[in-house]
Chains A and B, each alone.
Chain A
């Protein structure tokens, strides 16, 4: 399943072409920008729920301080929607100097900020290191949940729906939704997923939709343009057959992926899911899961996307923010981030295109908990499917 040519062209536009054909004075512009950035403080609002991620951001802060004289402050947040709300309020109140200079973002939060013109840019394609980004092999670096990035956010890392469990207890992990139903039937009460509208829960439902819909091409279109109830009929047949075998017979669901993970670690569940394919390996490294942990993706592919950094329109350190965004795209920073011992966040770069000097940053360590046979990434369905799916799920299973 690929994005249509028109989607790509629309999204890419100048974004792809500019770095390939740098306009005159491009380098000079960047040098000026780096000079402007020196001494600036960049308040980077980023989710802080993971120790390895926080440590990585702390490392990045040391690097940009030493190399560019930019002070990077990690503002720890629990949910990027906080930032959307805050920037919206600040702009509404006409506050020129915002509280946020860089935000870790994607999906609906990006769509909201883009639609409300709360973002600075386009800037992403002007970053010198953007030329390394694998925009062809990883089209989601330009299309965020079916929304064109238009250079308003710079790709940072890749995500893909991944399942994991204890290999000592699971001999043959289910490779599709149908196999998952059979697995749940054989292990009643030991499988579940977070209730939508939790982000991971919605993603699970979207994955089930992918595997049950007759014509996957429909998912690229706005949901109001198709016969929604017809399109999801098989999805709900699938869920109807799955739910009686779930934890609490599908009458109650955990609130979040974090709870799911904890229940797996405690031995109450047999499997959990994540959007970071390397999270299981990371949890093994941090001692939260046993070394016998295995991770897998459905053979025909699972939903994948990209996460980004963006600069709010009212940032007062846009130069510093761009310098940081550029550093985060450098092969060195991306390679370190992809290292399973550091964070394990898959890179957005085209590693095949890097020079030998640049590839050295990318290790190939094989560690327990790593996805054994990576499957293709399926693009997110058009954003308009999400609210309809969530309310249909609620109607069927919410009461």
Chain B
């Protein structure tokens, strides 16, 4: 009974602050699913199947390439001189929002873009070439943006794992064992480390996959259009003024989610059958192969170069009103885009207060749950967290909006806070859960043996040892909150503006300087959060 009460207590704050607003959103989604007409029109859509295939293809391709590159870089640099730089650099990379990165990279690779101008000025091209780069029919430019953005995310998570004293100790031991048996660094990573790290990353990997398969803003900027990924069709349906289109959008969102869940389940089933033999194929025979330090270093350098280029281009773009081909620098320079944002500080203040409050609340709720609720219930919570992330935020936010109307929460700061918490907690919990549950319970026994009570143990020992993971979760939380556009726009009802609201509405006219300013502004706050996390997280025991 006491145990039950304990679990219930763990559930209570979460239930009030996170689960009920989320459920309100989900119920509205399910209610929409009952519309038979919507499903009929969805399956009549001529682009449905190619669009679905494109979504799953770009999501899967970006996941596989990102994971490969992330492990390649980590394996080569972990323990080396570059490792500390690498793990703090990726924090900076992470802070640039996906859309901002897509805008900057897009300007590099389009036929009238920077690369074409450099080549064109050397080769003497009078007009831009007719390359097929952005909006290529297979979505490869979309995949490249996703890969360039997800690799730092994965490295960041892996480095947070490796920074944990318990894990690094274990791995050091395992490394000695495998070295004694004649295995080189690469072999040790492949046979010993990756099989241990990968299972702990399964939820973040799932998020990367879902994100890649359902992303809207990046796909709009750089993805194919005929057919577009399914997420674009859903997005335009959900934004239509006609409720019949909205219903088709809801059905489409559920269909995409169901397809992804079915594929994930199929993977879990197939993995059991095929993975051992595949793994065996890759790892057969003893190997003295050393870790790929050189190529990893070059890869990291490539990432740095791309991010630096994108950053510089965004800066120039923000003041370059007219920048025609083949000029390498704008012909018209004005500061009007910056001035438009500088006029009122309210969006920045609101964004900051919402990000800090929702991240702190999410951390508190997550730690409270992990401390009071048995691990076997995590899976149930994860299902909801994944739904909060995977379902289009427009759907959930619209359901929340309807529920919040009854309590007069719309247009108020607490209402927007709850809407942010829906997303922020989901990410924070997923990032935190692995390291937290993997915490060695014997530390507790030792500390109780040293006469420390439970709270002292939690504060002084456990949370201190988990500092890198907590810092990583907090940084992710701040980044997620800052980027919230759809829920803020709906729940705030125009009474409260945040950075993305101001930015998206001003940029809806397609002004490139404004989009660049928005990209840079949105990057500043998370960049500070990630740098702080990198500093704070490294100073562990």
Interface residues of A (CB under 8 A from B): 43, 45, 47-51, 54, 75-82, 84-86, 88-90, 92-93, 95, 99-100, 108-109, 111-113, 189, 195, 197, 248, 251-259, 261-263, 265-268, 286-290, 391, 394-395, 397-399
- Give every chain B residue within 8 A of A100 (Cβ-Cβ): 493-494
Measured CB to CB, the closest approach of chain B to A78, in angstroms, equals: 4
**Could you tell me if B512 and A262 are in contact, using CB atoms closer than 8 angstroms?**
yes
- Residue pairs across A and B with Cβ atoms less than 8 A apart, 11 shown, are A76-B501, A78-B504, A80-B241, A81-B239, A81-B241, A85-B398, A89-B405, A93-B402, A253-B226, A259-B510, A268-B325
Identify the stretch in B124-132, B190-198, B267-275 within 8 Å (CB) of chain A at 4 or more residues: B124-132
Complex: chain A residue closest to B232, CB-CB: A255
Q: A255–B221 Cα gap in the complex (Å)?
A: 8
- Asked if B487 is at the interface of the complex by the 8 Å CB criterion, the answer is no
Given contacts A78-B504, A85-B398, A268-B111, 5 further A-B contacts (CB under 8 A): A78-B505, A81-B241, A90-B405, A286-B334, A289-B322
Measured CB to CB, the closest approach of chain B to A305, in angstroms, equals: 16
- Give every chain B residue within 8 A of A398 (Cβ-Cβ): 46-47, 226-227
**Could you tell me if B112 and A258 are in contact, using CB atoms closer than 8 angstroms?**
no
Report B243-291 residues with CB < 8 Å from chain A CB. Answer: 243, 246
**Could you tell me if B226 and A251 are in contact, using CB atoms closer than 8 angstroms?**
yes
Measured CB to CB, the closest approach of chain B to A105, in angstroms, equals: 9
Complex: chain B residue closest to A250, CB-CB: B226
**Could you tell me if A290 and B406 are in contact, using CB atoms closer than 8 angstroms?**
no
- Give every chain A residue within 8 A of B340 (Cβ-Cβ): 51, 54
**Could you tell me if B226 and A288 are in contact, using CB atoms closer than 8 angstroms?**
no
With A197-B236, A252-B224, A395-B46 as given contacts, are A48 and B135 in contact (CB-CB < 8 Å)? Answer: no
Q: A277–B324 Cα gap in the complex (Å)?
A: 23
Query: Which 7 residue pairs spanning A and B have beta carbons closest together?
Result: A258-B510, A49-B509, A75-B494, A267-B325, A49-B508, A99-B493, A266-B112
- Give every chain A residue within 8 A of B410 (Cβ-Cβ): 99
Report B499-519 residues with CB < 8 Å from chain A CB. Answer: 501-502, 504-512
Q: A263–B130 Cα gap in the complex (Å)?
A: 12
**Could you tell me if A51 and B510 are in contact, using CB atoms closer than 8 angstroms?**
no
Q: A216–B504 Cα gap in the complex (Å)?
A: 39
- Asked if B401 is at the interface of the complex by the 8 Å CB criterion, the answer is yes
Measured CB to CB, the closest approach of chain A to B289, in angstroms, equals: 43
Complex: chain B residue closest to A46, CB-CB: B505
- Give every chain B residue within 8 A of A108 (Cβ-Cβ): 241-242
Q: A288–B220 Cα gap in the complex (Å)?
A: 22
**Could you tell me if A399 and B226 are in contact, using CB atoms closer than 8 angstroms?**
yes
Report B43-57 residues with CB < 8 Å from chain A CB. Answer: 45-47, 50
Measured CB to CB, the closest approach of chain A to B339, in angstroms, equals: 9
**Could you tell me if B321 and A258 are in contact, using CB atoms closer than 8 angstroms?**
no
- Give every chain A residue within 8 A of B510 (Cβ-Cβ): 49, 256-259, 261-262
- Asked if B85 is at the interface of the complex by the 8 Å CB criterion, the answer is no
Q: A256–B225 Cα gap in the complex (Å)?
A: 11
- Give every chain B residue within 8 A of A397 (Cβ-Cβ): 226
- Give every chain A residue within 8 A of B242 (Cβ-Cβ): 108, 112
Q: A92–B510 Cα gap in the complex (Å)?
A: 34
**Could you tell me if B128 and A268 are in contact, using CB atoms closer than 8 angstroms?**
yes
- Give every chain A residue within 8 A of B220 (Cβ-Cβ): 255
**Could you tell me if B506 and A49 are in contact, using CB atoms closer than 8 angstroms?**
yes
Q: A77–B324 Cα gap in the complex (Å)?
A: 29
Central interface residue in A84, A252, A259, A395, by most chain B CB within 10 Å: A252
With A195-B226, A266-B323 as given contacts, are A287 and B334 in contact (CB-CB < 8 Å)? Answer: yes
- 0/1 string, B302-330, CB within 8 A of A gives 1: 00000000000000000001111110000
- Give every chain B residue within 8 A of A75 (Cβ-Cβ): 494-495
Complex: chain B residue closest to A189, CB-CB: B130
Measured CB to CB, the closest approach of chain B to A137, in angstroms, equals: 29
- Asked if B62 is at the interface of the complex by the 8 Å CB criterion, the answer is no
Q: A266–B506 Cα gap in the complex (Å)?
A: 21
**Could you tell me if A268 and B110 are in contact, using CB atoms closer than 8 angstroms?**
yes
Q: A43–B494 Cα gap in the complex (Å)?
A: 8
**Could you tell me if A267 and B324 are in contact, using CB atoms closer than 8 angstroms?**
yes
- Asked if B19 is at the interface of the complex by the 8 Å CB criterion, the answer is no
Q: A255–B241 Cα gap in the complex (Å)?
A: 19
Interface residues of B (CB under 8 A from A): 45-47, 50, 110-113, 127-128, 130, 132, 135-137, 220, 224-227, 236, 239-243, 246, 321-326, 332, 334, 336, 340, 398, 401-402, 405-406, 410-411, 489-490, 493-495, 497, 501-502, 504-512
**Could you tell me if B495 and A99 are in contact, using CB atoms closer than 8 angstroms?**
yes
Q: A145–B219 Cα gap in the complex (Å)?
A: 31
- Give every chain A residue within 8 A of B246 (Cβ-Cβ): 85
- Give every chain B residue within 8 A of A84 (Cβ-Cβ): 241
**Could you tell me if A195 and B324 are in contact, using CB atoms closer than 8 angstroms?**
no
**Could you tell me if B243 and A88 are in contact, using CB atoms closer than 8 angstroms?**
yes
Q: A33–B223 Cα gap in the complex (Å)?
A: 51
Measured CB to CB, the closest approach of chain A to B45, in angstroms, equals: 8
**Could you tell me if B493 and A109 are in contact, using CB atoms closer than 8 angstroms?**
no
Complex: chain B residue closest to A73, CB-CB: B494
Complex: chain A residue closest to B239, CB-CB: A81
Complex: chain B residue closest to A169, CB-CB: B127
With A251-B137, A255-B220, A398-B46 as given contacts, are A86 and B493 in contact (CB-CB < 8 Å)? Answer: yes
**Could you tell me if B402 and A286 are in contact, using CB atoms closer than 8 angstroms?**
no
- Give every chain B residue within 8 A of A258 (Cβ-Cβ): 508-510
**Could you tell me if A89 and B398 are in contact, using CB atoms closer than 8 angstroms?**
yes
- Give every chain B residue within 8 A of A85 (Cβ-Cβ): 241, 246, 398
**Could you tell me if B46 and A50 are in contact, using CB atoms closer than 8 angstroms?**
no
Measured CB to CB, the closest approach of chain B to A103, in angstroms, equals: 10
- Give every chain A residue within 8 A of B405 (Cβ-Cβ): 89-90, 93, 95
Partner of B505, one of A76, A111, A267, A399: A76
- Give every chain A residue within 8 A of B111 (Cβ-Cβ): 268
With A76-B501, A86-B493, A93-B406 as given contacts, are A287 and B321 in contact (CB-CB < 8 Å)? Answer: yes
Partner of B502, one of A50, A76, A89: A76
- Give every chain B residue within 8 A of A287 (Cβ-Cβ): 321-322, 332, 334
Q: A50–B45 Cα gap in the complex (Å)?
A: 34
Q: A290–B332 Cα gap in the complex (Å)?
A: 9
Measured CB to CB, the closest approach of chain B to A267, in angstroms, equals: 4
Central interface residue in A50, A100, A257, by most chain B CB within 10 Å: A50
Complex: chain B residue closest to A267, CB-CB: B325
Complex: chain A residue closest to B405, CB-CB: A93
Complex: chain B residue closest to A190, CB-CB: B127
**Could you tell me if B47 and A290 are in contact, using CB atoms closer than 8 angstroms?**
no
Q: A75–B45 Cα gap in the complex (Å)?
A: 35
Central interface residue in B46, B332, B340, B508, by most chain A CB within 10 Å: B508
**Could you tell me if A267 and B504 are in contact, using CB atoms closer than 8 angstroms?**
no
With A77-B494, A78-B508 as given contacts, are A267 and B112 in contact (CB-CB < 8 Å)? Answer: yes
With A257-B510, A399-B226 as given contacts, are A77 and B505 in contact (CB-CB < 8 Å)? Answer: yes
Complex: chain B residue closest to A115, CB-CB: B242
Measured CB to CB, the closest approach of chain A to B506, in angstroms, equals: 6
Measured CB to CB, the closest approach of chain A to B435, in angstroms, equals: 39
Q: A229–B243 Cα gap in the complex (Å)?
A: 27
Complex: chain A residue closest to B222, CB-CB: A255
Q: A233–B362 Cα gap in the complex (Å)?
A: 58
Q: A111–B136 Cα gap in the complex (Å)?
A: 36
Q: A36–B217 Cα gap in the complex (Å)?
A: 44
Q: A81–B322 Cα gap in the complex (Å)?
A: 31
Measured CB to CB, the closest approach of chain A to B419, in angstroms, equals: 14
- Give every chain A residue within 8 A of B226 (Cβ-Cβ): 195, 251-253, 397-399
- Give every chain A residue within 8 A of B130 (Cβ-Cβ): 189, 248
- Give every chain B residue within 8 A of A76 (Cβ-Cβ): 494, 497, 501-502, 505-506
- Give every chain B residue within 8 A of A254 (Cβ-Cβ): 135, 225
**Could you tell me if B325 and A89 are in contact, using CB atoms closer than 8 angstroms?**
no
Q: A12–B110 Cα gap in the complex (Å)?
A: 50
Measured CB to CB, the closest approach of chain B to A68, in angstroms, equals: 22
Complex: chain A residue closest to B506, CB-CB: A48
- Give every chain B residue within 8 A of A109 (Cβ-Cβ): 241
- Give every chain B residue within 8 A of A266 (Cβ-Cβ): 110, 112-113, 128, 323-325
Central interface residue in A248, A266, A286, A394, by most chain B CB within 10 Å: A266
Measured CB to CB, the closest approach of chain B to A248, in angstroms, equals: 7
